[in-house]
Structures are given as C-alpha cells and as structure tokens.
Chains A and B, each alone.
Chain A
Amino acid sequence: MSLNSHINVLDFTLQSLLRRKFKNLGILLVFTLIVFITGSILFLSYSFKQEAMLILKGSPELIVQKMSGGRHELIPVKISKYIAGIPGVSSVEPHYWGYYYDALIKANYTVVAASTPLSRNNRMLLGRLPEKDETGVVALGREVAKARFVDLGGTVALLSSAGELLDFEVVGIFEAESELLTADLVVIGLPDVIKLFRIPDGLATDLAVSVSNETEAPVIAAKIRTEFPDTRPILKNEIIRTYDAVFGWRSGLIVTLFAGALVAFIILAWDKASGLSAEEKKEIGILKAIGWETSDILEMKFWEGLAISLSSFLLGVILAYIHVYLFGASFFAPALKGWSVIYPDFRLVPFIDPYQIAMLMSLTVIPYIASTIIPSWKAAITDPDEVMRG
C-alpha cells in the first residue's frame, strides 16, 4: 500500500465518524472531560510541588521533633545544646508554632512565632512583622486579614488555651511567596505564642537545625536519633512529606478525583472494547466481504481511535490549562476550601511539564486506541461469509 490508499481509508474513516456523530460526540465529550479533570489535577499538583519548593528554599536543613506514641509532641529546648555540639551543625533554633481554629470564620490558622526566616520568605504588603519578643501585636497573611475584615491598626482577638481572650493590634499584612501554604499564616511575638498555646517552660514545638554542608545532614540526623530515640529528625527533602501531611487530606482528595477520572476512563474504554455494536460488526463484515483486508480495517479503526482520542486529549489539556492557570482551579475550589475558609487566590506559574503531558497522553490515547482496535480486530479476522446470511 502506498500513500493514496491511506488517504482514501482516512477519508472513509472521517466520513464514518460523521455518520455516527452523536455517539462519537458523546465519547468525545466524556473523554475531554476526563482529560480535563486529570489534566487539571496534574497541573495543580505540579504547582503545589512548585510552591513546596519555594518553602523549602528558606527552611532549615533539619527539623527535630519529639515523638510520643507516634504523635508530634513539644520538645525540650535543652537538648539543642547537645545537637549544637555535633560537628557540622552551624546553629540550632527552637521554633514555636501551632494551629489555631477560629470558630468565628470556621477556619484554621497556622500561628507562628516571629523569627528571621519568616521575614526572608514573606513580602510585606503593609506595615511590618512583629519583633521576636514583642507582645500584643500581630501580622496577618493577606487572606486571614480579608477573612477577618481587618486592616492595619485594627484589632484581632484570639482565644488562648487557658480560655483567655488575647487582643492583638494588627501591625502588618503580608503576602507569602508561596501563597498556598501560608495564606493562613498568623505571626505573633514569641511570648504571645507561648501564652496562646500554653507552651510549658523549656519546651518548643520543634528545633530547626542548620547544617553547613547539606550532604552531612543524614549523618547528623542519625546521630540525633541515636542519642535521643524519642525524636524524629526530618530532613529538608522529607519536609515535602510533612507538607503532605498538613495538606494530606487535600492530596487525598486529589488522588480520589484522579482515581475517579481514571475509573471513568476505564469504563469508557471497556464499554468501547466490549460494546462493538451489531451495526459496526456488520459493517466490518461487509467491508471484508467486498475486498478490504484485515489490515485495512485495523488501519481504519486506528485512524478512528486516533482522531477521537487525540482531539479530546488536546481539547482537555487546553481546557485544564485555562482552568488551572487562568481561573485558579476554580472548579476545585469548593472541595479544597474544606480545609480552611481561607482559600488562597492562586497565582500559579503556568508551566507545562512535557513528561506529565506525555504520561497523561500514554494513559489515555494509547489505551483508547487499543480498545478501539482490539475488538475490531476480533471481528475482522472471522470469515466474512457470515455477511452472506445477513
């Protein structure tokens, strides 16, 4: 066969697609929707990862947490003296932070004590961050300020663990470099964090260990673990997982959506695979009987599968791109908002990862084409004499 025959078969295929326009349009829609959902998820999770990378930039090489019964517990500050003595450690700093549930707007904040890394990571929009030892003042993430309807100079009250209402004057509103994680951030002075969460003397939330040579970090982590078996040193690259735990249910949700989309796709493919309609089967028989070879029929089915899957794929990816990067994944917003009312305005960096696109394509286009060709192949290799009997 040379070129003409392929053009002719392609021509015939396109006409066949038009003949069954409703069925094919239906498949096209479902397929596009699935690619749209999975594509949105892929783009979104990529951006989440990007955001996490931004956070990692400013975070210490090692974070040491105390564990008790498998749960994160407050850690004694005095062990930082030992850790600081390990060769290769340049500094150890206790961190004080916690989650605060605001019943008023039904949202979680992450409350953090003011410290230097914070000012490195955040861009002040208005005012300033509290000093480390300052009391009675607060800086709010943009979204928190929005949700509480406060401005610079206003007052925010937080309820301490002792049941005491603490008033804070808003001295700053900032925007995090990584909005996704820190839009719900509230920064107050260290004494206020201790008061708010009732952190006992000599304890901290965790210890941030800076290491001069990052490749030594695993060795230092191992030393800490031997000396203090009830601690868990987390390496910088493991922080990604901590972040995952914080947003665990979010990623769980995404995995669910992703799995749902894949299941829908499998159903679609399966339906195609098992449901070669009687009419289609008969048509294959007719084509065979009037002189088409099995390979001609497979070629036709290949074109058919390619035309449908490739156009749905492209359409779905383009729509997903628009959805995620132009509309801030607004369809997913209601679901993602569950975590916190404070849903950041995404300003995600548009980015196309060719590897991801290729993967999505191989997970959709190829199985679809296969599910179009295989049943047709089964129909095409049977003797065409069945056609004689109608």
Chain B
Amino acid sequence: MNKTIIRTENLTKYYNKGMANEVLAVHSVSVGIERGDFAVLKGPSGSGKTTLLSLVGCMTRPTSGSITVEERDISHFPERFLTDIRRKTFGFIFQQFHLIQGMSVLQNVMVPLFPTDIDITLLKKRAADILEGLGMSKRKDFPVQGLSGGEQQRTAIARALINDPEVVLADEPTAHLDTALSQDYMGVMKELWDRGKTVIIASHDPLVFDNEYVTLTVEMRDGMVKSISRR
C-alpha cells in the first residue's frame, strides 16, 4: 500500500472565475499527505485553508491541477463518485458542527449512512458504540439543540466516525470552544490518530498546531503554500 494517501499537484481554485469578483483562493498548491499523518493547515484568515480542505475532501472541484486520493485522480470524477469517496474515505467535522436540528444525538450520528444498505438496527448499534466511546451515552436520545457546546462537538465527531473513515477532516474546530474544551477536543483527535486515522485540521489556533504529535504543518498565505514542515 502506498504511503501517500492524498497528493495535490499545482492545485488551483478560483471563485467566480472570469467575473469582476474573481478570487484566487488556492494557488498552485502541491502537497502530499501520508497515511497516519496528523496534518495541520495553518495561516491567517483568508489564506485559503478552508478552500484547500474542501478541495482535499472532494467537496468542490479544482479549477486546475490535480488531486489524487488513494491513487485515483479525482479532479475529473463525476459528482456521484466524489460523493462515494466522501462517504467512504472522509469524515468531516464542521466549524459550526452543522448538526441537524430537532433530531436526537443518535439520529444525527446515523444520518450519513441512511442512504446505504446498512441494516437500521446495525447502524443504531454502531452509532451507540461510537457515542459510548466519546462518553456521550447518556445524551444519546437528547435532541441536539439542547446540548452544550462540548457535547455538540462530540456529536459532530461521532457523526464523522460513523463510516469508519480513513481520514478525519476538521475546519477551525476550536474556534468556538474555550481552552479546556479545545484541549479536550485535541485529546479526542490524538486518540483517533493513535488508532491509525489520518487527521487533517485547518486552524490558526496555536492550541491546535503547537502540539508535538503534529507530523505535518502546511503554512498558507494568499492561497499559496508558504512552507511545509514535516516531523
């Protein structure tokens, strides 16, 4: 098995290309992320971290350049295949958690796999196990809007793990958390990483990138890579 799980080659992304409000959000980025990396994308606001993360996570397509995920060049894949890769390879944790309001914690964790052939009781059990691992068992039938910030965070993590993804992606996960909860969160990420997941986090929070277990730091500025350091 190849060590590199994701590789980008001269990856470039314009928003509104050709129009007055054209933005070059990511410019000629070439990086390789290996299996088992704990990677951090850092850089000031507007430097293109979120854009790069969504390109890598197959959420949007590049304007030019290529992205290879598990040795498949996905830049020209039809959207159905991108969805498939998102569902099988990635687990996303969004900045605003983006839980589905009005549903229970357990239901929220199950949502990604509803449109698959998994048996519902099996899915329920799997979701319950993940929640248990995150210490959320007693909250599992709560509606998500009643949860504390930290609990919402854990629900979002559990949802990202329901498909047992190879890679966990998170965008500014600590932006809305206090120091204690942020450290808590990083603890969970480290645990996942210890269990063999590849972790990619976009953040400009030192609590995230100043950790000795970070193996790859990609520093961005103005859509370009300023430096790549590997440890």
Co-complex (A, B): yes
Q: Which of B50, B51, B53, B100 contacts A283 (CB 8 A)?
A: B100
Does A292 interact with chain B (Cβ within 8 Å)? Answer: yes
Which chain B residues border A292 with CB–CB below 8 Å?
83, 112, 114-115
Does B60 interact with chain A (Cβ within 8 Å)? Answer: yes
Give per-residue flags for B79-100: 1 if the beta carbon is below 8 A from chain A beta carbons, else 0.
1100110110000101110101
Does B102 interact with chain A (Cβ within 8 Å)? Answer: yes
**Distance A287 CA – B139 CA, assembled complex (angstroms):** 22
Does B101 interact with chain A (Cβ within 8 Å)? Answer: yes
Once the chains bind, are B60 and A2 in contact (CB under 8 Å)? no
Once the chains bind, are B112 and A290 in contact (CB under 8 Å)? yes
How many of chain B's residues touch chain A, expressed as a range? 35 or more
**Distance A19 CA – B120 CA, assembled complex (angstroms):** 20
A4, A9, A290, A384, most chain B CB atoms within 10 A: A290
Does A385 interact with chain B (Cβ within 8 Å)? Answer: yes
How many residues of chain A get a CB closer than 8 Å to chain B's CBs?
Answer: 34
User: Contacts A1-B117, A19-B103, A292-B115; is A390 near B98 (CB within 8 Å)?
Assistant: yes
Please give the distance in Å from B182's CB to the nearest CB on chain A.
18
**Distance A2 CA – B111 CA, assembled complex (angstroms):** 17
Once the chains bind, are B79 and A388 in contact (CB under 8 Å)? no
Please give the distance in Å from A24's CB to the nearest CB on chain B.
12
**Distance A20 CA – B100 CA, assembled complex (angstroms):** 12
Total residue contacts A-B, CB cutoff 8 A: 96
Does B54 interact with chain A (Cβ within 8 Å)? Answer: yes
Which chain B residues border A283 with CB–CB below 8 Å?
100
Does B59 interact with chain A (Cβ within 8 Å)? Answer: yes
Once the chains bind, are A388 and B61 in contact (CB under 8 Å)? no
Kindly identify, within residues 298 to 330 of chain A, every residue whose CB is under 8 Å from any CB belonging to chain B: 299
Kindly identify, within residues 109 to 156 of chain B, every residue whose CB is under 8 Å from any CB belonging to chain A: 111-120, 123
Kindly identify, within residues 1 to 40 of chain A, every residue whose CB is under 8 Å from any CB belonging to chain B: 1-2, 4-5, 7-9, 11-12, 15, 19-20
Once the chains bind, are A291 and B83 in contact (CB under 8 Å)? yes
Kindly identify, within residues 43 to 80 of chain B, every residue whose CB is under 8 Å from any CB belonging to chain A: 50-51, 53-54, 59-61, 79-80
**Distance A292 CA – B123 CA, assembled complex (angstroms):** 16
Which chain A residues border B171 with CB–CB below 8 Å?
388
Does B107 interact with chain A (Cβ within 8 Å)? Answer: yes
Does B159 interact with chain A (Cβ within 8 Å)? Answer: yes
Which chain B residues border A20 with CB–CB below 8 Å?
102
Does B163 interact with chain A (Cβ within 8 Å)? Answer: yes
Once the chains bind, are A383 and B59 in contact (CB under 8 Å)? yes
Once the chains bind, are A388 and B95 in contact (CB under 8 Å)? yes
Q: Which of A2, A8, A296, A381 contacts B120 (CB 8 A)?
A: A8
Does A387 interact with chain B (Cβ within 8 Å)? Answer: yes
Once the chains bind, are A5 and B94 in contact (CB under 8 Å)? no
Once the chains bind, are A291 and B98 in contact (CB under 8 Å)? no
Q: Which of B100, B117, B163 contacts A286 (CB 8 A)?
A: B100
Once the chains bind, are A5 and B107 in contact (CB under 8 Å)? no
Closest A residue, CB atoms, query B165: A291
Please give the distance in Å from B51's CB to the nearest CB on chain A.
8
Which chain A residues border B103 with CB–CB below 8 Å?
15, 19
Q: Which of B94, B112, B118, B123 contacts A291 (CB 8 A)?
A: B112
Once the chains bind, are B114 and A293 in contact (CB under 8 Å)? no
Once the chains bind, are A8 and B115 in contact (CB under 8 Å)? yes
Q: What is the interface of chain B, defined by CB distance below 8 A to chain A?
A: 50-51, 53-54, 59-61, 79-80, 83-84, 86-87, 92, 94-96, 98, 100-103, 107, 111-120, 123, 159, 163, 171
23 of the cross-chain contacts (CB-CB < 8 Å) are A1-B115, A5-B115, A5-B116, A8-B115, A8-B118, A11-B120, A15-B103, A279-B101, A287-B111, A289-B98, A290-B86, A290-B159, A291-B86, A291-B112, A293-B80, A294-B80, A294-B83, A387-B59, A387-B98, A388-B59, A388-B95, A388-B171, A390-B94
In the complex, the 8 A-B pairs of residues with the closest C-beta atoms, listed nearest first: A291-B87, A19-B102, A296-B115, A385-B54, A385-B59, A385-B60, A390-B96, A8-B114
